[in-house]
Homo-oligomer: A and B are copies of this chain.
Amino acid sequence: MNIRKVAQMAGVSVATISRVLNHPEQVLPETREHVLAVMKEQNYTPNWFARGLNLGTTKTIALLIPDIESETHQKIISGIETVARNKGYAVFFCNTHGKADIEEESLDMCENRRVDGIAFVSSNLPESRVLQTRENGIPCVHVGKNRNSGCDTLCYIDFEEGAYRLTRHLLTFGYGRIDLLLDVAECHQSAQIEAGFSNAVRESGRAVESKRVMEEGGVQSGYTVAQRMIQRNDLPAALITAGDGQALGVLKAAQDAGIAMPQKLALASMTDSPVCGLVNPPVTALELPASKLGMAAGRLLFDNIENKEFELGVPQEMVLQPKLKIRKSCGNLKYIYELFD
């Protein structure tokens, strides 16, 4: 069922049909009703390809994301999808598993399909490749990469500031050695966390000699690392983990070894999750505005799509701040406040 057949059945020309759909006010109300009736009767829907072919716009964006299992990523997806839907855009979803070759392949796919814009979440692609895409006229935004990555047009959560505040919070309690447990997978992020952490420690007048243990993320790895520390009798007074998975693993290891928290080991995580509030003791963590990050990415992207004619050609940045969720795993705040009273 194409526009010509509908036109024939309705006894009008194809132009009229097209106008009924795109500029209804230009056509006589009774003709319009009649055409609409025929369209419904034949359940006709206009062919997207033919439309896209001469409009040159696809009303489609693409989202490249390394995985979907992380809660943060889910919320980013949700946020960006919401913005897209409200603008009448469809979204291609590409799970890149963090592999550069799959990203490359997905990017080719996006260019072929003439998407109107692309959002990269924590991409591993060389920036030159992305620039090339942008030169082909497709706006691109990066999510979760910060300005040190060499990319422009990006939005991210300020992990440096977050780590700084979280570390300051721990320092309030006067803990001795504070360790940092990072995650090899997210190197850009790790650098930021380390910077914020170091700044806070240095400001407190100490040398930054606290060691950092690099490991992969996840509950199991947190458990293993903590267990090893306990066995070697090498436990710090406080530990900051890059992810909530690691934190939960550490907590479990401490529980299993009968180590009191926060008395013998204070714990804080750079990312929050519902479980962090449920365990015993509840774990202090940074609540990431992930869903807002997704929406911010969407807004930035659509801003670039809709205002192509005023191209800025200058780095654009949106930075969101995480929120410190103080719970019991770092110590009793009230006690501290009483000390100062």
Q: Give chain B residues whose Cβ lies under 8 Å from the Cβ of A74.
A: 68-69, 74
* A81 CB contacts on chain B under 8 angstroms: 93-95
Contact flags A263-283 to B (C-beta < 8 A → 1, else 0): 000000000001100111000
**How distant is the Cα of A109 from the Cα of B85 in the complex, in angstroms?**
10
A68 to B93, CA, bound (A): 12
Give the distance to chain B from A13, nearest Cβ to Cβ, in Å.
21
User: Across the interface, which residues of B come within 8 angstroms of A279, CB to CB?
Assistant: 279
Query: In the complex, what distance in Å separates the CA atom of A109 from the CA atom of B82?
Result: 15
Asked if A178 is at the interface of the complex by the 8 Å CB criterion, the answer is: no
A7 shortest CB reach to chain B, Å: 18
Find out whether the CB atom of A112 lies under 8 angstroms from the CB atom of B78: no
Contact stretch, chosen from A40-48, A161-169, A324-332: A40-48
- When distances are taken between beta carbons in the complex, the residues of chain B under 8 Å from A58 are 49
B78 and A90 within 8 A (CB): no
CB contacts under 8 Å to B, within A88-109, are 90-95, 102, 108-109
Contact partner of A108 among B45, B50, B94, B95, CB < 8 A? B45
A252-B281 Cα distance, complex, nearest whole Å: 12
Q: In the complex, how many angstroms separate the beta carbon of A249 from the nearest chain B beta carbon?
A: 8
When each residue 232-271 of chain A gets 1 if its CB lies under 8 Å from chain B and 0 otherwise, what string results? 0000000000000000100010010000000000000000
A219 touches B278 (CB 8 A): yes
| Further contacts, 9 of them, CB under 8 A, given A81-B93, A90-B92, A92-B93 | A45-B112, A48-B113, A49-B50, A77-B93, A81-B94, A219-B274, A219-B278, A275-B275, A279-B279
List, sorted by A's number, 21 A–B pairs whose CB atoms are closer than 8 Å.
A43-B132, A43-B136, A45-B112, A47-B53, A47-B114, A48-B114, A49-B52, A49-B53, A49-B114, A63-B93, A68-B68, A68-B77, A69-B71, A81-B93, A85-B95, A85-B102, A90-B94, A90-B113, A91-B92, A91-B93, A248-B275
